[in-house]
A = this chain, B = another copy of it.
Amino acid sequence: MEATLADLCRMLEAQGMRPQAEGDASLRISRVATLEDAGPQDVSFLSNPKYERMLQTTRAGAVVLRPGVNAPAHLPCIRVDDPYAAITVLIVRLHGHRKHRPAPLNPAVTTIHPTARIGENATIHPGVTIDEDVVIGRDAVIYPGCYIGPRCHIGDRVLLYPNVVIYEDCQLGDRVTIHANTVIGEDGLGYAPVGGQWVKIPQIGWVEVQDDVEIGAGCAVDRATLGKTVIGRGTKMSNLVAIGHGTRIGEHCMLVAQVGVAGSVVIGDHVTLAGQAGVVGHVRIGDHATVGAKAGVTNTVGPGETVLGQPAIPIQDAKRQVVYISRLPELYEQVKRLERQVAELEKHRHVSQVE
């Protein structure tokens, strides 16, 4: 759809924001685009001040940004306190978002156990398998190829993209979204060494995925050996993330792609694990901690700490180490020079003693 700059402001006001327009209010906008890609009919946004210089070169028709940020005089702006939240509103209004087309239930190509209870207005696509005693909430959408094992409880408005597999006894809260080909509740790596062979320890626990969690594509979350593995309320995970058995992740965390967390780990709330970070088993990570990309956490991380490196240490130490290591060639030179100087001094001393 198309809208004027004034229209955009009204859309934001309707969400309780207080936008300030600068420039031609009748300017016509038809799309949202990045600063890099935007053209004269597009509205773009600047959230991170680090990229402020891009305002000089963007071809965008208008930009959403914070009060106080410098913008070229000719560039129409909408000033709001939270440009991200504002642009989210504009994206949905100008472009709409993914519609989940209702699909009539087709019993010929769907396998729903007679004991399963399907909530009102839920959409179960063809090729889905729902096993015995499963409960599916209202308005849930289950895409083709999903498998939901016995006794799982799936909350209201849950969204499972194609080929998601949920093993038996797992619990998904309301408004959980899981992207394609992710697996929840597979057995963890539980074996006892008996006579040189690995004997399987039955994994009889489950996984609890709390309300408003979103999990990316191709992830794997182990069920607990006993008790539960927990993904806390509001936590978001990217793709190809592996979570070990019995691990408890707090609320509103962010796990970037290819993170791996071993078993029996306890992670607090509002924790960020950056891409390809790993956490060994049985450690704790405090609230609001941040683990840098590729870091290897081998010990407890305190609340609010930021760690980096392998093994992971406080980020300022890790960064200093990188600098120190980069200067090693000089250090070796300095030491070699010192050795020559000291040898010279010693020779001189011996000479003077002999004298």
Mark out the residues of chain A between 312 and 339 whose CB falls within 8 Å of any chain B CB in the assembled complex. Answer: 313, 317, 320-322, 324-329, 331-332, 334-335, 338-339
Measured CA separation A341–B34 after assembly (Å): 59
Measured CA separation A323–B257 after assembly (Å): 30
From B34, B194, B339, contact of A334 by CB (8 A): B339
Q: Which residues of B have CB within 8 Å of A32?
A: 204, 226
A-B contact pairs, 30 of them (CB 8 A): A33-B227, A47-B192, A84-B201, A85-B192, A88-B200, A88-B201, A91-B202, A91-B204, A129-B162, A145-B147, A147-B180, A161-B167, A165-B181, A181-B183, A181-B218, A186-B216, A186-B217, A188-B238, A189-B216, A200-B214, A220-B239, A238-B244, A240-B240, A242-B258, A278-B293, A311-B322, A321-B325, A331-B331, A334-B339, A345-B346
The minimal Cβ–Cβ distance linking A52 to chain B, given in whole angstroms, is 14
- The reply to whether B165 and A163 form a contact with Cβ atoms under 8 Å apart is yes
The minimal Cβ–Cβ distance linking A322 to chain B, given in whole angstroms, is 7
Does A156 touch B at the CB level, under 8 Å?
Answer: no
- The reply to whether B331 and A310 form a contact with Cβ atoms under 8 Å apart is no
Please name the 9 residue pairs, one residue from A and one from B, whose CB atoms are nearest each other, closest first: A84-B192, A220-B239, A165-B180, A147-B162, A183-B217, A324-B328, A242-B257, A217-B220, A186-B217
Q: Which residues of B have CB within 8 Å of A352?
A: 352
- The reply to whether B101 and A129 form a contact with Cβ atoms under 8 Å apart is no
Measured CA separation A193–B81 after assembly (Å): 12
Does A199 touch B at the CB level, under 8 Å?
Answer: yes
Interface of A is mostly: loop
- The reply to whether A88 and B329 form a contact with Cβ atoms under 8 Å apart is no
Measured CA separation A144–B322 after assembly (Å): 50
The minimal Cβ–Cβ distance linking A179 to chain B, given in whole angstroms, is 4
Mark out the residues of chain A between 258 and 273 whose CB falls within 8 Å of any chain B CB in the assembled complex. Answer: 258, 260, 262, 270
Which residue of A92, A214, A260 has the most chain B CB atoms within 10 A of its CB atom?
Answer: A260
From B95, B276, B328, contact of A325 by CB (8 A): B328
The minimal Cβ–Cβ distance linking A237 to chain B, given in whole angstroms, is 8
Proximity string of chain A (213-245) to chain B, C-beta cutoff 8 Å, 1 when within and 0 when not? 010111110100111000000101011101010
**Sample of 9 further A-B pairs with CB below 8 A, known A34-B226, A181-B218:** A32-B204, A126-B129, A145-B147, A181-B220, A186-B239, A187-B214, A260-B276, A262-B275, A311-B322
Measured CA separation A92–B200 after assembly (Å): 11
The minimal Cβ–Cβ distance linking A269 to chain B, given in whole angstroms, is 9
Q: Which residues of B have CB within 8 Å of A327?
A: 332
* Cβ-closest chain B residue relative to A325: B321
Measured CA separation A218–B257 after assembly (Å): 13
Does A105 touch B at the CB level, under 8 Å?
Answer: no
Measured CA separation A276–B212 after assembly (Å): 29
The minimal Cβ–Cβ distance linking A48 to chain B, given in whole angstroms, is 9
* Cβ-closest chain B residue relative to A33: B226
Q: Which residues of B have CB within 8 Å of A218?
A: 181, 183, 218-220, 240, 242
Q: Which residues of B have CB within 8 Å of A257?
A: 189, 220, 242, 244, 260, 262
Q: Which residues of B have CB within 8 Å of A338?
A: 335, 338-339, 342
Given A161-B186, A294-B278, are A234 and B34 neighbors across the interface (CB < 8 Å)? no
Does A37 touch B at the CB level, under 8 Å?
Answer: yes
Mark out the residues of chain A between 141 and 196 whose CB falls within 8 Å of any chain B CB in the assembled complex. Answer: 143-145, 147, 150, 161-163, 165, 167-168, 179-183, 186-189, 191-194, 196
